[in-house]
Chain A
Amino acid sequence: MTADTSTATDPAAGRGLRRRLSAFREGYPHFFLLGLLAGVTLLLAVVPYGIIAAPWQDAAGEAPRLVRLFRMDIQTWFTLTVSGMAMGLLIFIMSSGMTLTFGLMNVLNLAHGGFISFGAFCGATVVAALSGWGGSGSLVLTAGLLLLAFVYAMVVTGALGVFFERVVIRPVYGNHLKQILVTIGGSIILVQLIQVIWGSTDIPVSRPELLRGAVIINEGVPLIGGAAIEIYRLMAVVVGLILYGVMQLIINRTKIGVLIRAGVENTEMVEIHGYRIRMLFLAVFVAGSALAGLGGAMWGMYEQIVNAHMGEHLMIMVIVVIILGGLGSVTGCFYGAILVGLINLYVGYLEPRLAGVATVGLMVAVLMWRPQGLIPVLRH
């Protein structure tokens, strides 16, 4: 965040710094982009609006569109950044399964959105059935409710994943065209099944009492004092970070993780060492489906409404995220998701109509820069 602004402020630093910056850009493209995004918007926020707008304002106090970009203040910037992280981490939870499935099994599961919707409906069912727990305001009951809703969503989508991997995907390993066709068919079936089970109407999800409202940062805190952060978003950030940490631990520190990373590189060689790769595939697919379900359940509570087609719409963001991050890379997926979350919130604040387009624009720009995504995975 500091590195990219320093070139502008310190022209005397000369070539060495520029070279170091470009090395940083190529070596850590994800930090570079995150820094660029947060830095530019912070710049917009730091400059006092009055100074910029004064020469432009007309009689009604309105300034031209471009100048109005500076209207953001630091508290808003902070709120947007935390909210963007929350959204990004929710998307990360949903996307991580899909990127792992692709990286390890070379399977493109376009029915992933169906799992997200399924999880959302499962979560909504639990929340509706135990509405007393949510309304009680007791910490224990609320935690219990969340745990039950999330676990239920994960168990159901995980079980669905077992069935899906065995019946739908297994016959089409190694054939991308057929995978696309079959998983699209599967996604239609999943969405229809949701409508059979829960009906065709949207279902509202009420957040538990304790997760409603926002925390307001103490006025005494410099710069960001007074900024409001929704409690639910804070929880999403915490859950997302914990999940990311656990996934990193599993992938980097356990034998399963070694097998997964090895499988991403070369599945055949894993089999040659005596491991039944198909079992690993199944396990990863089920874990991915369960994560989609968890993400869906959390997203449903975030939006406070669930809809059978929500997964399909979220798939766009999921796809952008996994392409951004580099298909198959969990780390890339993490940073890609945060980037997408941030750009959605920032652009959504500055020009709401362009939020969706900015997401896709970001993806196209990154692809033009790095066709393999931010953190490409070496493939055999």
Chain B
Amino acid sequence: MMDWILSGDYPRSRILTALLVAIFVGLGLGPFLFDGVVAFRTMGMICIFIIVVASYDLMLGYTHVVSFAHLMFFGFGAYGVAIALDTMGSGFTAIFVGLGASLAVSVITALLLGLLSLRVKAIFFALVTLAIAFSFMVLVNQLYHITGGEDGMRVAVPRELGPAFRMEHSGTGFALLNWLWGVVTNPLAVGEVTREALFDVRMNGQLLMYYVSFVLATGLFLFMLRLVNSPFGKVLMAIRENEFRAEALGYRTVFYRTAVVVVASAFATVAGVLFALVTRYITPGVTLDFELAVFVLLMCVIGGMGTLYGAVIGATVFLVAQTYLQDLLGVLSGWIAEVPLMQPAAALFSEERWLLWFGVLFVLSVYFFPAGIVGQLRAWAARRDAGAAGTKEQGGAAEAAGEQS
């Protein structure tokens, strides 16, 4: 059963398994475990970005195609559905029309990009996609009568998916983190802490939309897992290891490379549609910005390229950090400002500088853990297993395998 669901591609590390289960359960029961608007929004973003990053990993990790245009396809989806809802009125037909239309645009554009990659070398491709994605963003900014320009546009979601759609009963949630914190800090008043941890969950369209994205994220992720473990995925990896040899073996690498770009772009488009429906307001800044493309790259690399599970870990770690690292830094800079002689350094730790530390972490991780979190966890697990088996040689081999992945 599990073998079928995961396509035989297990996490291969106990810690990783635990993390993945925690993320799955956390997202699945999330609205009932974490209180507050920020937490709710973060969870929605994690679901959506798991799709974006996993599909990006299909290109980056499995084929070593570096593209900066992935967010453009995300934007196609987001703006496609937003424009459809705007012109056709809020309804599910509009959503499907928007999805269909933006998928069509994405597939055609991805095919053209694939053809372009025929003409130019890999390193050119990265730069060309960067420029093309940028020109699309400029276009969106300029065509303000359609897209709202820099101010963005409201997404008129159907009533059933918005906050106005309420069920009669409201659910009850249990704020897990608050409760744990309460139990630790105030162990005597467990009863009161427990009572305080209970909160109302509004059973509205937004919650419904969240679960739609959760289910879609899970489904698409498992589908991608299936894809990379299929013969198709094996060819992709063969191309990654040695394009020349794969070609010599008779695989039309151009076909495979184009196919992977098309598939990944289609997934990004779906994620874009979800993004528009979940956030209900889109601007070029939150869908197409160069910085966002870099973030997706960061999530993919930090999680672990070429593992797909890395996308789950990377997206979660990054988005949680983006939301909560700032708070942590704020506290830290508060402390540092107190210390005499250290005031000038406080600027380094101010809340807005979370990206500085993330950048440093990122560079260090590329040097020291090029396989990302997932690769590192797997390497440790493999080493431990080899140690248990008591054969030194296997350990070396497993380590080497871990480094390769």
Contacts and interface: CB of A to CB of B under 8 A. Distances in A.
Partners in one complex: yes
Interface of A: 108, 168, 171-172, 176-178, 180-182, 184-186, 188-189, 192-193, 195-196, 200, 312, 315-316, 319-320, 322-323, 327, 353-354, 356-357, 359-361, 363-364, 367-368, 371
B66 interface: yes
B363 A186 contact: yes
Contacts of B297: 181, 184
Nearest to B120: A371
A315 B68 CA distance: 13
B180 interface: no
A171 B363 contact: no
A360 B72 CA distance: 15
B132 interface: yes
A327 B209 CA distance: 47
Question: Interface SS of chain A: helix, strand, loop or mixed?
Answer: helix
Interface residues of B, number: 41
Nearest to B300: A181
A357 B353 contact: no
B366 A182 contact: yes
B135 A367 contact: no
Interface string B309-350: 000000000000000000000000000000000000001100
Given A108-B123, A312-B290, A319-B127, A188 B64 contact: no
A361 B123 contact: no
Nearest to B362: A185
Given A181-B366, A188-B358, 13 more contacts: A108-B126, A180-B66, A185-B363, A186-B359, A188-B294, A189-B360, A192-B353, A319-B130, A356-B139, A360-B131, A364-B128, A367-B116, A367-B128
A366 to B, nearest CB: 11
Contacts of A176: 122-123
Interface of B: 64, 66, 116, 119-124, 126-128, 130-132, 134-135, 138-139, 142-143, 290-291, 294, 297-298, 301, 347-348, 352-353, 355-356, 358-360, 362-363, 366-367, 370
B347 A196 contact: yes
Nearest to B119: A371
Nearest to A178: B366
Contact of B116 (A171, A195, A315, A364): A364
Most B CB within 10 A of own CB, among A176, A193, A360, A361: A360
A201 B174 CA distance: 42
A115 to B, nearest CB: 15
Contacts, number: 104
A360 B135 contact: yes
B369 to A, nearest CB: 12
A363 B360 CA distance: 33
Contact of A356 (B119, B124, B135, B358): B135
A23 B61 CA distance: 44
A320 B126 CA distance: 12
B353 A177 contact: no
A189 B356 contact: yes
A179 B131 CA distance: 18
B349 to A, nearest CB: 10
A184 B298 CA distance: 9
B112 to A, nearest CB: 9
B356 A196 contact: yes
A185 B123 CA distance: 18
B216 to A, nearest CB: 29
Contacts of A186: 359, 363
A114 B73 CA distance: 27
A359 B130 CA distance: 13
A189 B359 contact: yes
A188 B123 CA distance: 20
A322 B128 CA distance: 11
Nearest to B139: A357
Contacts of B347: 196
Nearest to B144: A353
A359 B135 contact: yes
Contact of B138 (A178, A312, A356): A356
Nearest 9 interchain pairs by C-beta: A192-B356, A188-B359, A356-B138, A360-B135, A185-B363, A353-B142, A189-B359, A185-B362, A316-B134
A327 B116 CA distance: 17
13 contacts: A176-B122, A180-B126, A184-B294, A185-B362, A192-B353, A316-B131, A322-B127, A323-B127, A354-B142, A360-B135, A364-B116, A367-B124, A371-B124
A290 B143 CA distance: 37
A356 B366 contact: no
Given A180-B126, A192-B353, A316-B130, A367 B363 contact: no
A195 B352 contact: yes
Contact of A192 (B130, B134, B290, B359): B359
